[in-house]
Amino acid sequence: MGQYWLIINVDSKQQGYFGNLRNCFFDGILSRFLSARLCPLQPLPEMPKIAPTSKPADTNSNAERANPLSLPNELLYEIASNISDFADLLCFAASCHKVWDVCSEAVQEWVDEWATWDRCHIILLGDYTDELPENLLDKEDEADIREWLAEPNASKYEVGRSFYSYASDCYSSIFSSESARRRLKSALKDRPLSGAPAAAIERMLEVPDPKYTVLRNLSQKLYVRQKAVDELREELVSEFKSMGYPSAANLNLGDAVVCNICWSNDRSTSMSVDLTDGPWAGDCFDIVSMDELETDEEFSQWGDASKDVCATLRDCYESEYL
């Protein structure tokens, strides 16, 4: 059966438990999750200004002085930053233009942290791991783990297993609550958001641009083309059709990440192909358009890893089903 695996976003301190590697790889749940999270959300747009319909209140009145909107912008932002429920934050931000202008940055920060994983360090870690990839954790992360290990109930393992246990215990689970996109939708549905604020959130939820067809490994300046993965998927579906194995039909750019970010010192994986020494484990990724990649000033320094990645994916399927 092999060891169990945890997908970890080191930067946003999020994790998800995926059981054994075979199920994790072939059921497609993790790859679809990554392919969606690595595409950027639309940026939060500015609100159109609406002319007031009534005469401004007397700024010298006691009522005006008691109005929270009379607070300095710095205090309004501090209030927004301490609102833990995202729906409440949205409603507070949407109360008027002044508050929206002040708080939209806090809204954007929440979305950037919880709704996307692009440009974050990601690793799929096995629970038998003793050593971690070099420079995966910074000094602050290491200090947090040492502090956690000092607690009476903490599991005492080598650094790799300690990090697996620490992330399991202390990082936010990607399955413990609704996804960020669903929470945005819920906020629109359950709270009285309308007009420009509602339109702004709906714009952020737009389906990722179909031109997002290139996976980039930002740490190593490598990329994988969606077209190459699509061609491999068609080949595998055709080859395995008579055998009744439909899982290849789900191949996407997320699979290109999964097959390269596994990490463990133990080779037991419940798979025929050994993926435990992932060359991209702990790297940063995003999914962009080919135009964005080709217009990069350093595009000449990027390497096309499509052939190698597709060869690894083919090995995984052939060793499993042939």
Q: What is the mean pLDDT of each run of 10 residues along the chain (322 residues)?
A: 87 90 88 86 60 50 59 86 78 78 79 79 93 92 87 63 88 66 64 66 62 93 96 88 68 95 90 93 95 92 97 91 73
Residue 130: predicted pLDDT = 85
Structure tokens at 123: 């690793």
**Residue ranges of E strands in 14-173:** 14-17, 122-126, 172-173
Residue 206: predicted pLDDT = 63
Residue 6: predicted pLDDT = 95
Helix, strand or coil, per DSSP, at residue 15: strand
> Which of 287, 261, 296 is closest to 275 using CA atoms?
261
d(CA 212, CA 226): 9
Global pTM value: 0.78
Residue 178: predicted pLDDT = 46
Q: From the centroid of its chain, how far is CA 91?
A: 25
Residue 201: predicted pLDDT = 66
